[in-house]
A and B are shown apart, each in its own frame.
Chain A
Amino acid sequence: MALSGMRGLSVFISEIRNCQNKEQERLRVDKELGNIRNRFKNEKGLAPYEKKKYVWKMLYIFMLGYDVDFGHMEAVSLISAPKYPEKQVGYLVTSCLLNENHDFLRLAINTVRNDIIGRNETFQCLALTLVGNIGGREFAESLAPDVQKLLISSSCRPLVKKKAALCLLRLFRKNPDVVNVDGWSNRMAQLLDERNLGVLTSSMSLFVSLVSNNHEAYWSCLPKCVKVLERLARNQDVPQEYTYYGIPSPWLQVKTMRALQYFPTIEDPNTRRALFEVLQRVLMGTDVVKNVNKNNASHAVLFEALALVMHLDAEKEMMSQCVALLGKFIAVREPNIRYLGLENMTRMLMVTDVQEIIKRHQAQIITSLKDPDISIRRRALDLLYAMCDVSNAKDIVEELLQYLGTAEFTMREELALKAAILAEKFAPDLSWYMDVILQLIDKAGDFVSDDIWFRVVQFVTNNEDLQPYAALKAREYLDKPAIHETMMKVSAYLLGEYSHLLARRPGCSPKEIFGIIHEKLPTVSTPTVSILLSSYAKILMHSQPPDPELQNQIWAIFNKYETSIDAEIQQRAVEYFALSKKGAALIDILAEMPKFPERESSLIKRAGDTEADTAELSAIKSRAQQQASNALVVTDQQPANHPPQVTQLAMVKIPSINEENNHVDQEVTQTNGSMGEGEPQNGDILGDLLSPLAIEGPPGVSGTETLSEDGALALAPVGEQENAVKPIVDIAEIFHALCIKDSGVLYEDPYVQIGIKAEWRGHQGRLVLFLGNKTTSSLDSVQAVFLSPSHLKLELSSVPEVIPPRAQVQCPLEVVNLCPSRDVAVLDFSYKFGTNLVDNKLRLPAVLNKFFQPITLSAEEFFPQWRSLAAPPLKLQEVVRGVRPMSLGEMANLLNSLKLIVSPGLDPNANNLVASTTFYSESTRSMLCLVRIETDPADRTQLRMTVASGDPTLTFELKEFIKEQLISIPSASRPAVHQQPQPTTQPISLSDPGALLAGLL
Chain B
Amino acid sequence: MIRAMIVINNQGKPRLSKFYNYTPVEQQQQLIRSIYSVLCLQPENVSNFIEGGSIWVRQKTYFSDSRLVYKLFATLYFVFVFDSSENELAMFDLIQVYVETLEKCFSNVCELDIVLNYSKIHTILDEMILGGQVVETNSEKVMQAVEEISKLEKVTAATKLISKSTSVLWG
Report A's interface with B, CB cutoff 8 A. Answer: 1-4, 6, 9-10, 13-14, 17, 56, 59-60, 62-68, 82-85, 88-89, 92, 96, 99-100, 119-123, 125, 128-129, 132-135, 157-159, 162-163, 166-167, 169-170, 173, 198, 201-202, 205, 208, 212, 241-242, 244, 249-251, 254, 258, 293, 296-297, 299-300, 303-304, 335-336, 338-340, 372-376, 378, 410, 613, 615-617, 619-620, 623-624, 627, 975-977, 980-981, 993-994, 996-997, 1000-1001
Contact = CB atoms under 8 A, between A and B. Distances in A.
B57 A980 contact: yes
Contact of A166 (B45, B90, B131): B131
A891 to B, nearest CB: 14
Contact of A249 (B20, B33, B41, B137): B137
A65 B14 contact: yes
Most buried by A among B123, B135, B171: B135
Nearest to A101: B22
Interface in B125-151: 126, 130-138, 140-141, 145-146, 148-150
Which size class do B's interface residues fall under? 35 or more
Interface string B109-133: 0000001111110110010001111
Given A92-B123, A122-B162, A163 B171 contact: no
Given A162-B135, A336-B92, A89 B119 contact: yes
Contact of A133 (B32, B56, B130): B130
A980 B135 contact: no
A378 B56 contact: no
Given A336-B92, A620-B60, A373 B122 contact: no
B73 interface: no
B137 A201 contact: yes
A244 B93 contact: yes
A675 to B, nearest CB: 21
Contact of A997 (B37, B50, B149, B170): B37
B47 interface: yes
Given A159-B171, A296-B93, A56 B133 contact: no
Contacts of A208: 85
Nearest to A257: B87
Nearest to A99: B22
B83 to A, nearest CB: 11
B156 to A, nearest CB: 4
B133 A205 contact: yes
19 contacts: A3-B149, A3-B150, A4-B117, A83-B156, A120-B162, A122-B149, A163-B130, A166-B131, A244-B97, A244-B137, A250-B90, A296-B92, A297-B90, A373-B43, A375-B47, A375-B50, A616-B51, A977-B34, A980-B57
Interface string B21-48: 0100110111011100110010101111
A955 to B, nearest CB: 34
B129 to A, nearest CB: 9
B46 A373 contact: yes
Contacts of A244: 93, 97, 137
A378 B134 CA distance: 29
B141 A82 contact: no
A68 B160 CA distance: 31
A163 B135 contact: yes
Given A13-B118, A241-B138, A976 B58 contact: yes
Contacts of B136: 162, 198, 201
A297 B60 CA distance: 33
Nearest to A171: B131
A297 B135 contact: no
B45 A335 contact: yes
Given A17-B115, A170-B131, A258-B85, A977 B57 contact: yes
Contacts of A374: 46, 54
Interface string B82-118: 0001011110111011000000000000000001111
Interface string B7-26: 00000001011101010011
Most buried by A among B32, B49, B126, B131: B131
B162 A159 contact: no
Contacts of A67: 25-26
Given A4-B116, A167-B131, A335 B47 contact: yes
Contacts of B122: 59, 92
Given A3-B123, A375-B49, A297 B34 contact: no
Contacts of B141: 198, 241
A85 B158 CA distance: 12
Contact of A304 (B26, B43, B87, B134): B87
Contacts of B22: 99-100, 134
Contacts of B61: 616, 619-620
A339 B153 contact: no
A300 B93 contact: yes
Contacts of B17: 63
Contact of B47 (A10, A159, A336): A336
Contact of B56 (A158, A242, A335, A623): A623
9 closest A-B pairs (Cβ-Cβ)? A616-B53, A2-B153, A300-B89, A132-B131, A373-B46, A99-B22, A170-B131, A65-B29, A335-B47
Contact of B41 (A335, A623, A997): A997
Contact of A1001 (B37, B57, B140, B150): B37
A356 B26 CA distance: 51
Contacts of B92: 296, 300, 336
Nearest to B164: A119
A616 B39 CA distance: 18
A9 B118 contact: yes
A627 B135 CA distance: 43
B18 A96 contact: yes
